[in-house]
Amino acid sequence: MNRRERRKLQKQGVQVPKDPSINIKLSDLGRDIMTPTMESAMMHEINQQCLEADKRFSLDLDTMVIWTLYQCYGWREKRLHDFYLAMAKEHRRMREFYEMDDLYPERYKLKEKGIDLEKWQEEVLNNDP
């Protein structure tokens, strides 16, 4: 449950306890006590939590993409809808096909084709005022 949902319930008079969280760094645990299996399991769990967060934030990301296509390239509702459905279908297909513990396997496939979005992102971040 996120803060917005918790506040909404509180306005309705429902007391909702916060979910407890524990922050642990690998360096705090000591590398020598972490077996590769334990480390892999921990990274898997972290990735699963990232995937859950991805579901929550994907609407905002999708909205930004659709708005850019609408505002900058003149796409209208039917074309935007078709694009959105195709994009969501392709994302699901790639995640299922590659069965990766990663949020966006598409990034790796694009990098194989010479399209490095991480490099582009760095370029944008370095040019921000």
Written as tens digits, the pLDDT of the chain (129 aa) is: 677 888 888 888 888 777 677 777 766 666 566 677 877 888 888 877 877 777 778 888 889 999 999 999 999 999 999 999 999 888 888 777 666 656 677 888 888 999 998 888 888 888 865
| Parent domain of 90 | 33-126
> Quick check: is 12 in a domain?
no
**What's the token pair of residue 75?**
């796409």
Residue 84 CA neighbour count, 13 Å, CB half: 19
pLDDT the model gives residue 92:
80
Name every residue whose Cβ is closer than 8 Å to that of residue 34 and which is 6 or more positions away in sequence. 26, 42
59-66: long-range contacts (C-beta < 8 A, 24 or more apart)? 62/87, 62/88
Cα angle 58-59-60, degrees, rounded to a multiple of 5:
90
> Quick check: is 42 in a domain?
yes
Q: How many domains does the chain have?
A: 1
pLDDT the model gives residue 69:
96
Q: Which residues of 86-117 are buried (b: 16+ CB within 10 A; e: fewer)?
A: eeeeebeeebeeeeeeeeebbeeeeeeeeeee
**Residue 51 and residue 103 in contact, taking contact as beta carbons nearer than 8 Å:** yes
> Quick check: is 116 in a domain?
yes
Length of the chain: 129
